[in-house]
Every structure is written in C-alpha cells, then in structure tokens.
A and B are shown apart, each in its own frame.
Chain A
Amino acid sequence: MKFTGIERQLNILDYALHSLARRPGRHLSITFIFALVIFLVASFQMVTASLKHSADVLLKTAPEITVQKMVAGRQVMMRVGDMARVGKVFGIKEIYPRVWGYHFAARNGANYTIIGLDPARQRQLPPYLDGVKMPLAPGEAIVGLPLAKLLDLGGRRVFSLARGDLSLKSFRLAGTFPAASDILTGDLLVTNIADARDLLGMKADEITDICVSVANPAEVRTIAGKISRVMPGTRVLTRDQIRKTYQAVFSWRSGFGSICLLTALAAFFILAWDRASGLSAGERRETAILKVLGWQTTDIITLRFWEGGAVATMAFLLGVMAAWLHVTIGAAALFRPVLMGWSVLRPNLELVPVTRVSDFIIVFTFTVLPYLAATVIPAWHSATVPPDAAVR
C-alpha cells in the first residue's frame, strides 16, 4: 500500500474543505466575523504605514536643519542679520530665511498655517507642485485643497485675508497642493516671504526660521551641534528629528487604536474557542464514524487544523482585501477621526497605499496564528471522541 505524508495531508485537506461546505452557515458566520476583525486590524496597519510614508516623502523637501530663536521657552523672531552667524559654521552649503505663523480665521474658527519662502527657495517645493509657475509673483499663493475649499473660492483666483489690524491682504491663487500631500499641506498657504510678513504683521527684516542645507548629509548632527554653540538660545531642529516626531505621533495614535482592536480580537478568540470546543451531536457522530473507519486521533486533529486554517486563510484574504480597498478607495474613512484631525481643517486625505510584506506578516501573526492556537486545543478535545459512539 502506497503511503505518502503529502498525499495524506492533501486528502484530509480535501475532506476538510468538503466538511466546511457541508456546514456553510456555521463556518461562514465565523469567517465573516473573523474577516471583519482582520479588516479592522489590517486597515489600521495600512493607514499608519501610508501616513508615515506620506510624511516621509513630504519631509524630503524640508530643510536639513532649522534654527529657531527661543526666549523663555517660546519661539521669538530673528533678524535677517542673524543668518551671518550661522554662516560661519564650516560645512554649510546654503542658508536661507523662512517666515511662518498662524492666521486665525474667525469666520470658520480655523487656524491657517502661513509660510513665506524666499523666492530663490521656491523651486525646491516640487515634486508636488507640477504646473505652478515658480517663483511666485508678489501677492501669489499656493494653498492646500482643504483650505481652498474653506475659502470657498468657486471659480475665483483672488481672495483676501484679514491682517491683524483688520485691513485686508489680497492674494492670487497660483495653484493648490495635490490631495496626496493633504496630511501636511491641508491648512497651508505658501507665499513670498514679503507677503507672509505683511499678512502676519512682521517687520521687514524679521524671520522665524533660518533654514540650513549642508554639503555632506552625514554631517547634519555635527553641524547642528556647532550651530547650537555659535548661537546659544536657539533651538536647532534636524529633519530627522522632525520625522521622528511625526512617526511618534502616528505611532501613538496607531497604538491607541491597536489596543482597542486587540480587545475586539481577544473577544473573537474567546468566541472561536467556544465554537471550536462545542461540537454538535452530528459532528461528534461524524468524528466517531471516521475513527471507526480507521482515522487516527492525529488525523482528526489534522482535519480540524485544516478546517481552522481554511477559515482563517479565507478570512485573512477577505479582511486584507477589504482593508486595502478601504484605505485606497475609501480613504480610510473609518479611522480618519482617530489618526488625523489636528485642527478644524481636516485633510481631504488621499492615501498612497504602501504595500509592505512586513505589514501583512504582522497582521497574519496577530490574527491567524492566535486563531489557530485558540482552536487547536478544542480540536484535540473533539478528536478524543471514542469510536464506539458510532457502534452503539
């Protein structure tokens, strides 16, 4: 008699699939619930990965080092002349000024972020500004899509914002940031440095940041340290620090959501345990028949394992596919309130799906493996049905 382990496994798997098909109600319900749990976990994982990825891509255009003056723990203005002190540090390729601040719009209760860039630096705004003629002409501005909607421009290209003294400052819309960058540009208005100063009520030589690019990227931390020493009382931020701050914020929010989802996951595994351990009279009889016909206890455990594996695999595929659609097409509608929402201006998020094998492995590890573990002991228990139950 020919005996092969693989054929035996395939035969039992074949029987397991037939067995699932014979009790569709029972198995479809557990598959559906499990798929729902996997959908939630996978969506969260994918949204977090996409957000981190988006932040990474956009931060590539940020200056390598940003210097800000601090007094009493709060940021204060610097003068254009302060840039000369930074320029003495060896290894710096370029220094340029930047102005930024918040504009409160009483009409809708939102804060807009205003950034004023030196015209020479505006060419570095791409890659997300195709079609916008650079540098910006005086009075021109680029805004995030959510902000453009909030300004309710309709077909108009010109809009006004109120200065501190309530007089109006007019801007001409040069373009909008693409939706893919909403996460960082949702509430943003970028204009010339002089126009920004005008709107924010700053003096002609005042700046908020000194932006630094270095000749050798490996030297960023060293140069940042040197700047701290030549300009005491300043905060020197590297791009890597800003990235880590973003990652930490997303990770914290993701972790909070994950804890909530893990609670749901735990509840599901208790349900799975309960379902797997509660054999119906028909299932007990079937097990007894199989054992009388020569199936070993290990064959029955294998059968239950394949049944569980098929349910888990089907649920995993359904859950992950639904999560992918939810994140890419549905823009993660279920999780946006948790992961986003820093201000009144909610980004109109278009997530770039980040498909990483490691994310799938994480979801698989935290869902399918515990499910199989939760059902294996009840499966063993069910396999110990005595065969004489079929004879009586």
Chain B
Amino acid sequence: MIELIGVNKIYNQGRANEVHALHGIDFSAEKGEIICLQGASGSGKSTLLSIIGCIFGPTSGRAIIGAKALSRLPDRFLTLHRRETIGFIFQQFNLISGLRVLDNVALPLLPLGISPGERKKRAMVLLERFNLSHRADFRADQISGGEMQRVAIARALVNDQPIILADEPTAHLDTALSHDFMTIIAGLKETGKTIIIASHDELVSTHRAIDRIIAIRDGRLHVS
C-alpha cells in the first residue's frame, strides 16, 4: 500500500537556507496496518507525512503510494491521487468554522461533481456512524472538541480513501476522548484501512490496535 525507498527531501535546495529534512528513508506499510509515527518537533515527521499524503514528492528516492510512484506525478495528478487515496485528520481538526458539520464532512466531494443529495447521504451515513447526526446542522465552531475530532474523521473517510493519515490527533483531547478516538481507529482497521498516526501520546502508541511504532529523529527512521 505504501512503499518509500531511499527517500530524501531537501527544502530550498542549492540556496543558503537549504534544509535536508529526510535522509534515505526506507519504509513500507501494508493494507490494514496501523502504524504510530513518533518524533520531536523538527524531526521530519510532517515532511514524511506530507510525502505519504501526496502533498509533494520526494527530492530523490522512490515513493509509491497506493500503487503509484509519486516522483513521476505532476502536481495536478498528485492532487487527484491524493483525493482518491488519502484521508487526513489534523491536530487542529482543520474544520471550516462557519460551515455546517454536514458540509464540512462533504467538503472533499464538492470538486468531484457529486450531487447535493448524494453528498448529504454519504455524509449522514458517517455522522450516524460516529453518533453525530444530531449535530449535522450545527456550525463546526459550535460543537465540542471531541465532536470536532469525530467530524474530522468522518471527513477523512467520506471519499472512502484506503489510507488515513492522522497528525497528533489526540493533542487537543482529554483521556476519555483520546480513548474514544483510538476505539474508532481500531474499528477502521477492520475495514482494511491503512492508518499512520503521528503522535507523542502514550495512549495512542500503547493501544492494542497499533501494529508498529516508528520513531523519526533528524530525518532518519528508527524502527521498534
């Protein structure tokens, strides 16, 4: 499902402010696997997630995400591949605050030309699955942090992407809500999703659903 071979990422290459963010990363993840990625701020964690998330390609090396080699894809196709393959869950949830919960969940479907009725149907199925159907017409900034997190998960799943990336998803949640989050993630594993969670939270790294923990330091991987 995901395969990185000798991946390097250099920002501002050839300039005075050049930053070598990733060094020869070799990494793979199978379908249905849940991996916890750990690393301090500035370790290259976000860069690695961005490459796996098809936001940009590597400077060198091979990155094969969902059977497609990223380094050969121009930006336009990178975006198309991203929306078909990757679902994102952000640390800050990144919901559009003035929009209804229902519309936030359906956001990835808009440029696909899916009709309003079909969008609503798909979004409501997910909101019901995460016990949020009663919040569908609330504005995103009118719901609690835990609900926001579940809305973000629903949005990441609405286009049925096979890979889910979560960046510090429990950073703004209390213990109970973090536990709820991991319960949902464990449920997704059963549907065959490949999930990579970047997190410092022990509750995440020690959860039974986690198959592997990978640490990243100074742009290099350390597998445990």
> In the bound complex, how far is the Cα of B167 from the Cα of A1, in angstroms?
28
Q: In the complex, what's the smallest C-beta–C-beta distance from B10 to chain A, in angstroms? A: 15
The verdict on A198 contacting chain B, using a C-beta distance below 8 Å, is no
Partner of B79, one of A6, A12, A21, A294: A294
Known contacts: A292-B88, A299-B111. The answer to whether A388 contacts B96 by CB under 8 A is no
The verdict on B131 contacting chain A, using a C-beta distance below 8 Å, is no
In this complex, the interface size class of chain B, counting residues with CB under 8 Å from chain A, is 35 or more
Chain B contact residues: over half helix, strand or loop, or mixed?
A: helix
The verdict on B62 contacting chain A, using a C-beta distance below 8 Å, is no
Partner of B159, one of A289, A290, A294, A387: A294
Partner of A295, one of B56, B111, B116, B155: B111
> In the bound complex, how far is the Cα of B90 from the Cα of A2, in angstroms?
28
Contacts of A193-232 to chain B: CB distance below 8 A: none
Partner of A8, one of B53, B108, B111, B155: B111
> In the bound complex, how far is the Cα of B80 from the Cα of A328, in angstroms?
54
* Contact of B113 with A3 in the complex, beta carbons under 8 Å: yes
Partner of B83, one of A21, A293, A388: A293
> In the bound complex, how far is the Cα of B55 from the Cα of A1, in angstroms?
23
When distances are taken between beta carbons in the complex, the residues of chain A under 8 Å from B116 are: 11, 14
Partner of A2, one of B80, B99, B113: B113
* Contact of B108 with A294 in the complex, beta carbons under 8 Å: yes
When distances are taken between beta carbons in the complex, the residues of chain B under 8 Å from A6 are: 113
Residue of B nearest to A15 (CB): B110
* Contact of A391 with B49 in the complex, beta carbons under 8 Å: yes
When distances are taken between beta carbons in the complex, the residues of chain B under 8 Å from A292 are: 53, 55, 82, 88, 94
> In the bound complex, how far is the Cα of B119 from the Cα of A12, in angstroms?
13
Q: In the complex, what's the smallest C-beta–C-beta distance from A13 to chain B, in angstroms? A: 10
Known contacts: A294-B82, A296-B79, A391-B46. The answer to whether A289 contacts B114 by CB under 8 A is no
* Contact of B113 with A8 in the complex, beta carbons under 8 Å: yes
* Contact of B103 with A391 in the complex, beta carbons under 8 Å: no
When distances are taken between beta carbons in the complex, the residues of chain B under 8 Å from A291 are: 79
Q: In the complex, what's the smallest C-beta–C-beta distance from A19 to chain B, in angstroms? A: 8
> In the bound complex, how far is the Cα of B155 from the Cα of A291, in angstroms?
14
* Contact of A2 with B55 in the complex, beta carbons under 8 Å: no
The verdict on B17 contacting chain A, using a C-beta distance below 8 Å, is no
Q: In the complex, what's the smallest C-beta–C-beta distance from B214 to chain A, in angstroms? A: 18
- 1/0 per position for A353-392, CB-CB distance to B under 8 A? 0000000000000000000000000000000001110111
When distances are taken between beta carbons in the complex, the residues of chain A under 8 Å from B98 are: 18, 21-22
Of A291, A292, A293, A392, the most chain B CB neighbours within 10 A belong to: A293
When distances are taken between beta carbons in the complex, the residues of chain A under 8 Å from B56 are: 386, 388
Contacts of B36-60 to chain A: CB distance below 8 A: 46, 49-50, 53, 55-56
Partner of A5, one of B108, B113, B118, B159: B113
When distances are taken between beta carbons in the complex, the residues of chain B under 8 Å from A8 are: 110-113
Known contacts: A294-B79, A294-B82, A388-B56. The answer to whether A12 contacts B103 by CB under 8 A is no
Known contacts: A294-B79, A294-B82, A388-B56. The answer to whether A4 contacts B113 by CB under 8 A is yes
Contacts of A2-40 to chain B: CB distance below 8 A: 2-8, 11-12, 14-15, 18, 21-22
The verdict on B12 contacting chain A, using a C-beta distance below 8 Å, is no
When distances are taken between beta carbons in the complex, the residues of chain A under 8 Å from B53 are: 292, 391
* Contact of B111 with A2 in the complex, beta carbons under 8 Å: no
The verdict on A56 contacting chain B, using a C-beta distance below 8 Å, is no
Q: In the complex, what's the smallest C-beta–C-beta distance from A294 to chain B, in angstroms? A: 2
The verdict on A286 contacting chain B, using a C-beta distance below 8 Å, is yes
When distances are taken between beta carbons in the complex, the residues of chain A under 8 Å from B118 are: 2
* Contact of B99 with A7 in the complex, beta carbons under 8 Å: no
The verdict on B107 contacting chain A, using a C-beta distance below 8 Å, is yes
Q: Which residues of A contact B (CB under 8 A)?
A: 1-8, 11-12, 14-15, 18, 21-22, 285-286, 289-297, 299, 386-388, 390-392
Given contacts A8-B111, A11-B111, A296-B79, 11 further A-B contacts (CB under 8 A): A2-B114, A3-B112, A12-B110, A15-B110, A292-B55, A292-B82, A294-B79, A294-B83, A297-B79, A299-B111, A391-B50
Across the A-B interface, the 3 shortest Cβ-Cβ residue pairs? A294-B83, A22-B98, A8-B113
Q: Which residues of B contact A (CB under 8 A)?
A: 46, 49-50, 53, 55-56, 75-76, 79-80, 82-84, 88, 90, 94, 96, 98-99, 103, 107-116, 118-119, 155, 159, 167
List 23 contacting pairs A-B, 8 Å CB cutoff, sorted by A.
A3-B113, A5-B113, A6-B113, A8-B110, A8-B111, A8-B113, A14-B116, A289-B94, A292-B53, A292-B88, A292-B94, A293-B108, A294-B83, A295-B79, A296-B79, A297-B79, A388-B50, A388-B56, A391-B46, A391-B50, A391-B88, A391-B90, A392-B46
